[in-house]
A and B are shown apart, each in its own frame.
Chain A
Amino acid sequence: MAAKALILAASLGVLMTVPMLAHHSFGSEYDEKKPLKFENVTVTKLEWTNPHARFYVDVKDANGKVTNWNFELASPNVLKRNGWTKNTLKEGDKVTVIGTAAKDGASLGHAQTVVGPDGKRLFAGSNTADGN
């Protein structure tokens, strides 16, 4: 856990200064007017794949209905260059996700920040706000 905390802290410092870029326009996929914040949700799966790493969380609404959300991260290469590993997030972790929802209404989001189980904030974005 200590190691993970270090990774999270290091990643926060580095990632805040390195533009996160992608192969598509951010503004065409995600709606900045649809901010998301899911607190204390459980990671159900991590995909350490290209063009984006992804993680999935179960989100329970007020009626108890559970929806599995898909969150986009940067590419594994960008994440690795900034201190992540494929074990930074694991299935079963309880996290808080701050991000942006997809324009098309899918249960899909772009994660800007992930607060890990140890309370450290992890900047996770794959794009700058202008997608460039």
Chain B
Amino acid sequence: MKKNFVSAAMTVMALAAALLLLQGPADSQAPAGDAKAPAKGGGKGKGKGKARPTGPTPRMADGKPDFSGIWNGGGPIGDIAQGLMPGEEISLTPWSKKIMDTRLTKDDPEANCLPTGVPRIAPYPWRILQTQTHIFYLFEGNIHSFRQIFIDGRPHLKDADPTWYGDSIGTWDGDTLVVDTIAYNDKFWFDFSGHPHSEQLHTIERITRPDLGALDIETQIIDPVAYTKPFKIKFSATLRPGEELMEYICQENQQDAQHLQGPAGPPK
């Protein structure tokens, strides 16, 4: 298992390097959306403790919004209910209520250095790399892995194996990227609270970059096995100008999970 994770981490680094090479020095979209963009309203330093940078939405050569950059946040951490949109509610089925009632915090995949899945976000910076055909999320932490979204018009895979990040295809609705994802596994939790899902999970994310410094992600959760009706959440990520991802191999010296006590639940 550990060997697999190390291999995955190396794959991420290789992928990032390859993409940077592919984009090359003539790449005109990277500076606008990336961390080197001039930030208004920011302070000095490396993006820590600053006000959210403001400015126009960066755009690709074809005029579509460019989501590239180093981001922080953008998804649930402690409790997915914190992001519920107005009028929305989480309605568990008996199946998922039983799972939530029996989950122990020591079994949280994230605490055990496994991926967050979707829509959960770990409290570490992450990078979006955007090309005309692909969007990659490169996660610094927990774990050092990547998510890919195909925006080249292809349909979903047929008979896809269930995976941690699923099979994601994106289409543009004006300046909003609509990401449709299926083929998730049922292993990840939505939050520290242990909100579950089944392999029937289907997410529809509507992602916008209203200005330079913000990435808004609305996610509809559809899973008739786990929830009696779909619900929508919204979280916003903040640009971290001047930041770079750093290596983070969670499996290196994980000593926490064996000391975690009690049932899963919101942070306290």
Residues of chain A within 8 A of B123, CB atoms compared? 19, 21-23, 132
Pairwise interchain contact A24-B110, C-beta atoms closer than 8 A: yes
Residues of chain B within 8 A of A72, CB atoms compared? 255-256
Pairwise interchain contact B248-A75, C-beta atoms closer than 8 A: yes
Pairwise interchain contact B142-A51, C-beta atoms closer than 8 A: yes
Residues of chain B within 8 A of A23, CB atoms compared? 110-111, 113, 122-123, 141-142, 250, 256
Residues of chain B within 8 A of A130, CB atoms compared? 78, 267-268
Please, how many angstroms separate the alpha-carbon atoms of A37 and B139 in the complex? Answer: 36
B51 lies within 8 A of chain A by Cβ: no
| Stretch from A25-33, A61-69, A88-96, A113-121 contacting the other chain | A25-33
Given known A21-B124, A24-B256, contact A77–B49 (CB-CB < 8 A): no
Q: How large is the interface on A (under 10, 10 to 19, 20 to 34, 35 or more residues)?
A: 20 to 34
B7 lies within 8 A of chain A by Cβ: no
Pairwise interchain contact A50-B253, C-beta atoms closer than 8 A: yes
| Stretch from B155-163, B171-179, B197-205, B257-265 contacting the other chain | B257-265
B77 lies within 8 A of chain A by Cβ: yes
B62 lies within 8 A of chain A by Cβ: no
Please, how many angstroms separate the alpha-carbon atoms of A83 and B155 in the complex? Answer: 47
How far is the CB of A132 from the nearest CB of chain B, in Å?
4
Please, how many angstroms separate the alpha-carbon atoms of A34 and B257 in the complex? Answer: 19
How far is the CB of A83 from the nearest CB of chain B, in Å?
10
Task: Mark contacts of B114-143 with chain A using CB atoms, 8 A cut-off: 1 yes-contact digit, 0 otherwise.
Answer: 000000001110000000000000001110
Which residue of B has the minimal Cβ distance to A23?
B142
Pairwise interchain contact A27-B253, C-beta atoms closer than 8 A: no
B259's partner among A18, A22, A80, A102 (CB-CB below 8 A) is A102
How far is the CB of A106 from the nearest CB of chain B, in Å?
6
A14 lies within 8 A of chain B by Cβ: yes
Please, how many angstroms separate the alpha-carbon atoms of A31 and B105 in the complex? Answer: 15
* Given A72-B256, A104-B261, 16 additional A-B pairs, CB 8 A: A23-B122, A24-B108, A24-B110, A27-B268, A28-B105, A29-B261, A49-B253, A50-B252, A51-B252, A51-B254, A54-B255, A70-B255, A72-B255, A103-B262, A106-B259, A132-B123
Interchain residue pairs A-B with the least CB separation, the first 5:
A21-B123, A49-B253, A132-B78, A24-B111, A131-B267
A-B contact list, 29 entries, CB within 8 Å: A14-B48, A17-B49, A18-B49, A21-B123, A23-B122, A23-B123, A23-B141, A24-B108, A24-B192, A25-B192, A25-B267, A26-B267, A28-B192, A28-B261, A29-B261, A47-B253, A50-B248, A50-B252, A51-B142, A51-B250, A77-B124, A80-B246, A81-B48, A103-B262, A104-B261, A131-B192, A131-B267, A132-B123, A132-B267
Question: Which A residues have a C-beta under 8 Å from some C-beta of B?
Answer: 14, 17-19, 21-29, 47, 49-52, 54, 70, 72, 75, 77, 80-82, 102-104, 106, 108, 130-132
